[in-house]
Structure 1
Amino acid sequence: MQSLRNFDLIPNHTLKSLILSWRNQRHLLNSSPSSSSSFHGHTELTSLLSAVESSPFKVSTLKKLRSFARENSAAFVASGGIDALRRVILRSAADSDYFSAFQDCEEALGVLDGIPFENDDASVGLLAAPDSLRPMLLVLQRGGAEARLHAISILQRISRADPSVTDHFHQDIDVFKSLLDLLSDEISASPRLSSSSLDLLLEAVAVSKPNLLRAVEAGAVRVLIELLPDAGRHREGRVLMLLKRLCECAEGRSAFADHGMGVAAVASKIGRDGEVGTKVGVKLLWLVCSFLPTKKVVEDMMAFGAVKKLLGMVHGEGQSSTREKALRMVKMHGEAWKRLPCFPCELRAVLY
């Protein structure tokens, strides 16, 4: 063994070059799979999009594309995937009488629903075009449960980015009939599908008077009144809100007044634990009492306990728009209620 005369460090350039060479090789090894994976991913996407365009049997390719797009949504959008799906949907709609074509459309909507396209203006513009909306509305009316859910989800996402999209709904009353069927039938339609239908109806009538009239024409007032008694707390607020919006037009108020259980259904939700239900319920009754106070409506308010609840609000503490509407209804119809034989004697002294 050679003895060291001193312990000063002597640079070893050979060793240094070996270390640098080893580090460079490690870097290449580590980065190579990533770049290779990216290359293969792009190649796979290009191949799938080409197959979707050319193959007459698209469902299996669309299923693969759905799996790929879920994990590579940004690359999918950047590669023109939204436009490719749109072309599939348009071609399928043109041949909608053929089962296989309609199935292609349903599967394409499934792919589309898994892609976050809302922040891409170009994608929203493509999907918001009337010719793109028609196939979605067709699936909403005739598709399977899962496809309908995809169609509703896509329509909601487009309408949030471009609220004018729902303006097209009134052109086809069957759109509203289909949404109401899904809303009222939780046995064949899943709770999620029913809830999504309610949300889309709320959005549609909020932005368009023609949609409001179409919904009334499709029987929405009757459906909502019959849903209200058994609606859970979360759902009842939205049902009441939609019913209130429908009663903002004369046709909606007329349909409400003609229904035998309209007042009873709304009165049962006033004064419960939920403040929203009370506020919306009172506003709804105020609309009907102010603009269409038929003899039956006035008598039903007495018979089903609405008057008693209104008086409780009037004599409660505090000021609010809800209390003000209750007071106005009492002043408006108090004398008529007082003459009814079922009017409680103890309330005669407090009635305004």
Structure 2
Amino acid sequence: MEEPPHLFLCPISMELMDDPVTVSTGVTYDRRSIEQWIFGYGRATCPATMQPLANLDLTPNHTLKRVIGSWLDRGSPSPSTSASSSPSTSSLSSPAHELLATPLSRMLGAERLRSALADLEETPFKVTALKNIRACMAGDVAMQCEFVSSGGIQAVARVMAQALAESAAGGDFSAFTACEEAAAVLALLPLADAASVGLVLAPECMRPVMALLQRGGAEARLHAMDIVTKISNAGAGDWTAAAGVEVDDVLKPLLELLADEVSTRLSSRALDVLLDVVARSRDGPAKAVEVGAVHVLVELLADADDRHDAERILLLLKRLCKCPEGRLAFAEHDLSVAAVGKTMLRVSQLATQLAVKVLWLVSVVAPSEKVLEDMVLTGAVAKLLGLLHVETPPATKQKTVRMVRINGGFWRQYSCFPTDLRDYLRLLD
């Protein structure tokens, strides 16, 4: 009997399925294997995609079960089977034959995918080959799993590295186009399991991805950002170190995207990845300050209209101001205090708390005369005093009171400081 089609095999046991059932992610397994995975091992993820299961329902796949049964009957050496397989019979129009159409087309699609991957590095028409691979995988979880298991990530990464090298050496434009199309293929993958993330983190893959963030077209930048965002969300520790790339090479393109404001979607994702890199990388905050993050963030905050953007920018500024370099860069920017002070009592309670923490770091932990003066002139001190009259979290109120008490004497000397607030400062003293 011929080997069963790959689609008929359980992704867990790799044996012909006897009772196929489908889980919430759309992947089909043999009931006995998936029940052992979920209830025996206590797992709540899809083994093929490692995505969380929305529920533990196992839906019988009656269609696939009938197709497997039909395939088994076709493989039987009985006379009736031979007769039914003859073109002269009506079996070609039977329901079983119709049921075979979709699985067989999927099997052929998987075969075409494997063939395209095998020829990818040798073909001179890489862009066309990559587009065909992308079409095979789009919206098809099973085909994406086939791509990964067939070494697709490694093959596409080698093509990206080669294309980037040819482009840098003055090759024709099609080399860089191949790199962009390869990123579009990788962007289709969920990258929800450690194995796939580890393959994408290989330097020959990540360096081209970061290059696309800087030099790619609008669509290519979105694909590259999709890849970086998925890696960031996978929680792979300090993934910049694992990828063998310098933190600067990650931070620079992200900051350029924010400064250029190419698209709202790109800017939003760049903020998320920046937060992740600064939090996970030991040198992240200092390196971010070194490449100009404080300047970019202050400029963005001054014009921020979206509450979520303002909160994330303030959180980044707070993390950067925890290091001396960050506080110095903050103090040197003429708009920094005004931009942060503007968000207090205006954007959200979280924004107010973060703004107070930023001002605390630059006016108490390491005060500079310029920052203290700007706090008076921009109205930040008045807002701090206003915070004492509204309901705020205890930690925020304590920081506010301490800031006012420590710096009150300096602020009172300014003639522009309101008389009623000057009297209030005396009460706090």
By how many angstroms is 1:208 displaced? 1.6
Distance (Å, rounded) in 1 between the aligned partners of 2:298 and 2:120: 46
1:29 paired with 2:104, answer no
Q: Which residue of 1 aligns with 2:308?
A: 234
More helix per residue = 1
1:192 paired with 2:232, answer no
Distance (Å, rounded) in 2 between the aligned partners of 1:231 and 1:308: 22
**How many corresponding residue pairs?**
330
Question: What amino acid is the match of 2:260?
Answer: D
By how many angstroms is 1:225 displaced? 1.1
| Unaligned 5+ runs, structure 2 | 1-83, 85-89
* 1:219-298 matches, cutoff 5 A: 219-232=292-305, 233-298=307-372
- Is contact 1:224-1:243 (8 Å) kept? yes
Structure 1 residue matching 2:417: 3-state secondary structure: coil
By how many angstroms is 1:77 displaced? 2.4
Q: Which residue of 2 aligns with 1:181?
A: 256
* 1:113-128 matches, cutoff 5 A: 113-119=187-193, 121-128=194-201
Question: What amino acid is the match of 1:153?
Answer: D
By how many angstroms is 1:169 displaced? 8.3
Q: Which residue of 2 aligns with 1:91?
A: 162
Question: What amino acid is the match of 2:316?
Answer: L
By how many angstroms is 1:293 displaced? 1.3
Question: What amino acid is the match of 1:77?
Answer: V
- Is contact 1:149-1:196 (8 Å) kept? no
Distance (Å, rounded) in 1 between the aligned partners of 2:150 and 2:374: 62
Q: Which structure's CA Rg is the greater one?
A: 1
Distance (Å, rounded) in 1 between the aligned partners of 2:237 and 2:221: 20
Structure 2 residue matching 1:53: 3-state secondary structure: coil
When residues 215 and 319 of structure 1 are mapped into structure 2, their CA distance, relative to the original with a 3 A threshold, is closer
- Is contact 1:152-1:200 (8 Å) kept? no
* 1:26-65 matches, cutoff 5 A: 26-65=94-133
Deviation track 1:94-147 (CA, whole Å, cap 9, x = no partner) reads 32322332221111010110121322x322111122332222122222222221
1:325 paired with 2:393, answer no
Q: Which residue of 2 aligns with 1:204?
A: 277
1:147 paired with 2:215, answer no
By how many angstroms is 1:154 displaced? 0.7
Distance (Å, rounded) in 1 between the aligned partners of 2:117 and 2:383: 62
Deviation track 1:151-207 (CA, whole Å, cap 9, x = no partner) reads 122122123321321346872635433222210222xx1221122222221111111
| Unaligned 5+ runs, structure 1 | 1-20
- Is contact 1:89-1:104 (8 Å) kept? yes
Question: What amino acid is the match of 1:350?
Answer: Y
Structure 2 residue matching 1:257: 3-state secondary structure: helix
Distance (Å, rounded) in 1 between the aligned partners of 2:302 and 2:272: 19
Q: Which residue among 127, 130, 148 is the counterpart of 1:77?
A: 148
Question: What amino acid is the match of 1:157?
Answer: K
TM-score for both structures, normalised by structure 1: 0.86
By how many angstroms is 1:324 displaced? 1.1
Structure 2 residue matching 1:343: 3-state secondary structure: coil
Structure 1 residue matching 2:423: 3-state secondary structure: coil
Deviation track 1:294-350 (CA, whole Å, cap 9, x = no partner) reads 111111111111111111222334652111111110111011111221121112232
- Is contact 1:117-1:124 (8 Å) kept? yes
When residues 318 and 90 of structure 1 are mapped into structure 2, their CA distance, relative to the original with a 3 A threshold, is closer
Question: What amino acid is the match of 1:179?
Answer: L
Deviates more, 1:102-111 or 1:161-170: 161-170
When residues 29 and 174 of structure 1 are mapped into structure 2, their CA distance, relative to the original with a 3 A threshold, is closer
Question: What amino acid is the match of 1:306?
Answer: A
Paired-residue identity, %: 47
When residues 32 and 173 of structure 1 are mapped into structure 2, their CA distance, relative to the original with a 3 A threshold, is closer
When residues 128 and 174 of structure 1 are mapped into structure 2, their CA distance, relative to the original with a 3 A threshold, is closer
Distance (Å, rounded) in 1 between the aligned partners of 2:209 and 2:92: 54
Distance (Å, rounded) in 2 between the aligned partners of 1:35 and 1:284: 59
Deviation track 1:40-68 (CA, whole Å, cap 9, x = no partner) reads 21222122212322202200111111111
Structure 1 residue matching 2:343: 3-state secondary structure: coil
Distance (Å, rounded) in 2 between the aligned partners of 1:117 and 1:173: 24
Q: Which residue of 2 aligns with 1:341?
A: 415
Question: What amino acid is the match of 1:259?
Answer: H
Distance (Å, rounded) in 2 between the aligned partners of 1:148 and 1:212: 24
Deviates more, 1:142-151 or 1:259-268: 142-151
Distance (Å, rounded) in 1 between the aligned partners of 2:251 and 2:100: 55
